[in-house]
Structure 1
């Protein structure tokens, strides 16, 4: 069973994660199901994989206290440059307050998220046992604590595979209510029956090292970043005629650099991205709530360009539509914030390289360290994005050849089938031990 408490629609890579893994299970002699948020309605999207709407909280909302909810409208009015540092300071302060409250209040005065209790109730209802697998690929530290508390007494329960995909030094992970990640692993250390049933993973070497440093007594294996692999390898499709298609794919978010696209057009809009040499195609939907005005301003600026120069996609794309968008791209631009992505993975990067597309990505990140060097142009600062894109346009033929050579190996590793194989192998090794 794939647990995705935030699955409400097709927005975000986590939907594709569920889809890729769920539809690969049968190759390994396993049945698959998805446990989603109670608001998820598009059950038919998963084909033969059953989906149950179940959870009442999402990963994104579970840690929003009343204080945070009151602060959000105020933060919304601040410039983006001031908002991020203030949010980091607020998170640290609220984390310390939560720990202080925990030491003074009874457990009922500081309730844990309902995630653990809801998961346990479903596992009991469906009679999940020790031969079953449960994959939780997105989880906050408070949800992890709640799952440990709910499942601690279930000695014959299923194997739990937990993927940690956020930086270990982020506020709320390094510290926070119930001790953050250090507290979670300390809690698990005194519940041997549960510890034997839990396996932990990350999807980057940097994250694995961070968590090993934080919890040296535990193992953190590295998983692929799965996505739905197209039946027809994209690099075999002939390139569309006309100007090069510079493509921004994924949610329109500040941490992914969508707000930098207007600067890119101001710099190159009269030269290289002129509608003749190259044009920009950008997914422009699904802004985060605190970023609405920043994203809207960037989107409105981009709308002023003729469609021959800039094409904006403002609706949610289905799996096939997204695959088509990526397969028709010539260069995928990833103007991500380097601080947020120094260790975090990117499903978009994986899909781009697997589709045989050269990329532009920030230096000093998982993206630049992982992408094939011959198929990736790096930029050191946001101000150098235009220079990097210009270089990619001018070197397109060479970059494209290298990306096409790299595509098969990337597809093989970053497949749902490979992920299931690793989980199954880990379970068999554990049982042998």
Structure 2
């Protein structure tokens, strides 16, 4: 398929801080480098400063219970107007790479009775059975999430010609088994920082990125206590900024207060960074760490990818991550990942302790090769190559370099 323009529909774009904006800008810059028209369509109140940004739609406001159901219907009308704009051509690609579970309702309603000119690609970065609705019991969440998404996804894929991609082999497999045709796996396109990994030392254990329930921020006081009990020379560097407008950040102030008290009584071992960081500041903070701690809840994160893990690999860090997840699956690609299966402070502390033991005998030449391959795979160049290779109307075999590992 010949492509004239790539339009990224970025519902989360607000400013240039955070992985989502880095993701969008990386794709836009690579598309422009190849001579394609590149645009990032975002909300009218978006503050992103980029020549690629066009403010085209209303803001989606996070909601704490049933996601964005109340907004699904007016979003459908808005989407219908956008996909039928006179400027649209059959050589345009509309790429939705960050979507909410109710987005599928909106897009289904928007496309009823029309055949839009642009090719529509939806990238799913959460599994259908991951815990989308955090305040519901697991079984009820699975049932509600499935009913809210699966029928609409199948309608879009089978009847409306919408292509689906993921950035996780596990989600690709799940969608294919659910009856979707032509699902393919994309890399993570914003990996640019590389390094060789600091000496493991004390070690310096880092928790970076958003402080969220699903990312285990509330577990950190117990984890830090368990680690320091085993190794008094360990240090924790924790980004403790809680974004109050996100529902998944509620209820964590208690953990933050405990960490503050621990920092006051033991400033050599605990250091908090309590503010939002620019992307260079975030990378600088990660660079100071020898171990990146990802105490994520497997039942909430499940098959989803992690930009933090992807960047930590590129920087040569040791990584502690939950077992039975996409994160632990990356051990076959990078030898410095230690998984924990027991989601307890003791279990996670034991995994942290293993890093220093394994570091003594690690094959560093092999790790260097793995880092180079990782950066090549998860690059804007490879992302666009895989995307364009899959832009056809065939519903059988699809190519995904991520599956070649």
Which TM bucket (shorter chain)? 0.7 to 0.9
Structure 1 residues 124-273: aligned runs within 5 Å: 124-125=84-85, 127-155=87-115, 157-170=117-130, 179-188=147-156, 191=159, 194-195=160-161, 198-216=162-180, 218-230=181-193, 233-235=194-196, 239=198, 243-272=202-231
Paired position in structure 1 for 2:25? 19
Measured in 2, the distance between the counterparts of 1:415 and 1:265 equals: 34
Higher helix share: 1
Secondary structure of residue in 2 paired with 1:135? strand
Per-residue deviation at 1:50?
1.9
Is the Cα–Cα contact under 8 Å of residues 292 and 312 in structure 2 kept in the other structure? yes
Measured in 1, the distance between the counterparts of 2:23 and 2:271 equals: 27
Measured in 2, the distance between the counterparts of 1:167 and 1:156 equals: 27
Is the Cα–Cα contact under 8 Å of residues 43 and 56 in structure 2 kept in the other structure? yes
**6-15 or 358-367, which deviates more:** 6-15
Is the Cα–Cα contact under 8 Å of residues 332 and 359 in structure 1 kept in the other structure? yes
Is the Cα–Cα contact under 8 Å of residues 209 and 282 in structure 2 kept in the other structure? no
Measured in 1, the distance between the counterparts of 2:367 and 2:213 equals: 27
Q: Does 1:364 align with 2:321?
A: no
Q: Does 1:39 align with 2:45?
A: yes
Q: Does 1:295 align with 2:297?
A: no
Is the Cα–Cα contact under 8 Å of residues 141 and 184 in structure 1 kept in the other structure? no
Q: Does 1:377 align with 2:348?
A: no
Per-residue deviation at 1:385?
0.4
Q: Please give the root-mean-square deviation of Cα atoms over the aligned residues, in Å.
A: 3.2
Structure 1 residues 377-416: aligned runs within 5 Å: 377-383=338-344, 384-399=347-362, 401=364, 403-416=367-380
Per-residue deviation at 1:147?
1.7
Change (3 A) 1:256 1:267: same
Structure 1 residues 62-101: aligned runs within 5 Å: none
**206-215 or 263-272, which deviates more:** 263-272
Change (3 A) 1:175 1:118: farther
Is the Cα–Cα contact under 8 Å of residues 207 and 239 in structure 2 kept in the other structure? yes
Per-residue deviation at 1:133?
1.1
Per-residue deviation at 1:162?
0.4
**295-304 or 167-176, which deviates more:** 167-176
Q: Does 1:317 align with 2:319?
A: no
Post-superposition CA distance 1:35-77 (Å, at most 9, x none): 1233321x32x4xx4212333242744x956xx89xxxxxxxx
Change (3 A) 1:379 1:64: closer
Measured in 1, the distance between the counterparts of 2:142 and 2:73 equals: 18
Paired position in structure 1 for 2:384? 420
Secondary structure of residue in 2 paired with 1:25? helix
Normalised TM-score (structure 1): 0.76
Q: What count of residue pairs does the alignment treat as equivalent?
A: 374
